[in-house]
Amino acid sequence: MKTKPLQFVKNGEVVSLHNVSHTQTLLEVLRETLDCRGTKEGCNEGDCGACTVVLGEVDNGQMKYSAVNSCIRMAHSVHAMGVWTVEDLTTSQNALHPAQQAMLDCHGSQCGFCTPGFVMSLFGMYQNQTRKNIAITRESAQTSLSGNLCRCTGYRPILEAAQKMSAYPVVEIDDQPLIQQIQQIKSSNHESTDSYFLPKTLKELLLLRAKHVNAQIVAGCTDVGLWFNKMHMHFEQILDVTQVKELRKVEYYSHHIAIGAAVTLTDAFQAIEQDRPQLQAFTRRFAGLPVRNSGTLGGNVANGSPIGDSMPLLIALGANVVLMSMNGQREMPLENLYVGYRKNVMAKNEVLAWIKIPRPHPDEFLRIYKISKRFEDDISAVCLAINLQIHSGKVITASIGIGGVAATPVRAFKTEQALLHKDWSQATVDLAINELRNEFSPISDMRASSQYRVQVLGNLLQRYWLESSGAINLNIENLDLEGLNV
């Protein structure tokens, strides 16, 4: 099958590559075609961060920089972007970039295999913070490095390196020539492709979906990338939604916000947090930053994994999804999208276009709890989101979303009925805990036993009760989890 030339900007030059397979990852192209061997292959599933590179996109006339995992990013998805690897950071005077010099001076590198990935995450942080005179704190450094797993020198030297970058002379990237190069690539005409589709408009996307109903839809590819790397799956055609301009937007209305299916998790969570700041601690625990920078909220929802953490939250928020095709559109509650394990009601010619999230109600009390063995960059054993409206001591509305207890993300309808229009009291909560523990029959797996999941569901509802009544205000970061057996 034909694939169009892949073009992107690297080290100030436009790179044009022909005959790049539609199933090749960015990591494969960088290492095997461009001989950029500083970018490493570690886990090859987006967990370790050894493959981290930085992408640059034009966003509202300005450059936006994002650290991503190149091992699970499709090569053609970076068409008309800037790409930086560790080889690109040395200045014209052969001086090290502050991200590199700080790692050297703070003794943040040991064997060196993981170091390029750390340096690229530091470079992304440098572009987004240091260059804009935004101070790097230990907390922000931990967030930016959350996708880099190796810590053979310990955490302290690497975090110190992040905070020390601002002490060196500033290294500037002239954005304007880069923007011009990217715009030139976008405006140039390329031969048509019949294997990797990268539509720019919603109409083009719907036309392509109608014509190629068996093409595999991808967004950030943070899960589908594993299908290629680990399961060795092959698709004749790929339909990439990430450059559809209408779906890259977050739109704000009086009663809801609408998040396009191509909005990254980083940007989607930021929009949700504007209405509900209490979710910041949870969204920081959703994968690592490179995954959030590449993956999309729409992709997480369409994927339908029973352990996808965004769905319990969206269910509790009362979110709807909008499905579109050339025949029109339809809207439904998110929990009605799923009919079985990774199966949904979407027709072959439909795409998930938007996620609509209601604005917060003054009486709502929202909490979401993620139970996992690691604080961040880990899969949940249980994810429970509870959103009640409590007025004058009574439960007015109840919405509870759960992940990790069934073949799909689920809504706890029976437990909600046990709470609705009841006095908000310990007695009501006790009845609801019993209902919640009996409503689902989770499996046992490597993350947790069935009995543990059942027990923890009730425990978390009790915790919600204590928090809502002001008895406690637990901070998961300060909990002593030593000896916890999941």
What digits encode the pLDDT tens for the residues 165-211? 999 999 989 999 999 999 999 988 655 578 999 999 999 999 999 99
Q: Is 87 exposed, middle or buried (0-12, 13-18, 19+ CB in 10 A)?
A: middle
91 pLDDT more than 90: no
Tell me which of 3.30.160.620, 3.10.20.30, 3.10.20.70, 3.40.50.2300 is the CATH number of domain 1-189.
Answer: 3.10.20.30
DSSP letters spanning 259-324? EETTSBHHHHHHHHHHH-GGGHHHHTTSS-HHHHHH-BHHHHHHH--TT-THHHHHHHTT-EEEEE
Whole-angstrom Cα distance, residue 314 to residue 145? Answer: 27
What's the topology of domain 364-478? Enolase-like; domain 1 (3.30.390)
* 389, 395 contact by CB (below 8 A): yes
- The percent of residues above 70 in pLDDT, for the chain, comes to 95
The pLDDT tens digits of the residues spanning 287-297 come to 999 999 999 99
Whole-angstrom Cα distance, residue 80 to residue 347? Answer: 31
Domain ranges of the chain: 1-189, 245-358, 364-478
Give the chain's mean pLDDT: 93
Beta bridge partners of 423: 394
The pLDDT tens digits of the residues spanning 66-80 come to 999 999 999 999 999
**Can you give the pLDDT at residue 336?**
98
**Can you give the pLDDT at residue 486?**
34
Q: What residues contact 305, with CB distance under 8 A and at least 6 apart?
A: 223, 342, 409
Amino acid at site 330: R
Residue 420 corresponds to which tokens in the numbers above? 């609705």
Q: Taking residues 209-230, report their average pLDDT.
A: 94
Whole-angstrom Cα distance, residue 302 to residue 273? Answer: 22
Give which of 264, 310, 284, 268 is closest to 55, Cα–Cα: 264
483 pLDDT more than 60: no
The DSSP letter of residue 50 is T
Whole-angstrom Cα distance, residue 64 to residue 329? Answer: 32
Confidence of residue 377 (pLDDT cuts 50, 70, 90): confident
Confidence of residue 7 (pLDDT cuts 50, 70, 90): very high
Confidence of residue 29 (pLDDT cuts 50, 70, 90): very high
Q: Taking residues 32-56, report their average pLDDT.
A: 96
Tokens 């919405």 sit at which residue? 399
The pLDDT tens digits of the residues spanning 116-162 come to 999 999 999 999 998 888 999 999 999 999 999 988 888 899 999 99
Give the Cβ contact number of residue 468 at 10 Å: 15
**Can you give the pLDDT at residue 190?**
56
Q: What's the Cα-to-Cα distance from 91 to each of 94, 95, 121, 271, rounded to whole Å?
A: 5, 5, 18, 36
Q: Taking residues 282-290, report their average pLDDT.
A: 94
Whole-angstrom Cα distance, residue 301 to residue 217? Answer: 13
**Can you give the pLDDT at residue 472?**
61
**Can you give the pLDDT at residue 143?**
94
Amino acid at site 161: A
The pLDDT tens digits of the residues spanning 402-418 come to 999 999 999 999 999 99
**Can you give the pLDDT at residue 375?**
84
Q: Does 245-358 match 364-478 in CATH topology?
A: no
**Can you give the pLDDT at residue 196?**
95
Whole-angstrom Cα distance, residue 84 to residue 89? Answer: 8
The pLDDT tens digits of the residues spanning 300-343 come to 999 999 999 999 999 999 999 999 999 999 999 999 999 999 99
**Can you give the pLDDT at residue 189?**
62
* 419, 432 contact by CB (below 8 A): yes
**Can you give the pLDDT at residue 1?**
57
Q: What's the Cα-to-Cα distance from 171 to each of 52, 67, 163, rounded to whole Å?
A: 20, 18, 16
* 63, 179 contact by CB (below 8 A): yes
Residue 455 corresponds to which tokens in the numbers above? 């027990």
What's the topology of domain 245-358? 3.30.465
Whole-angstrom Cα distance, residue 309 to residue 260? Answer: 18
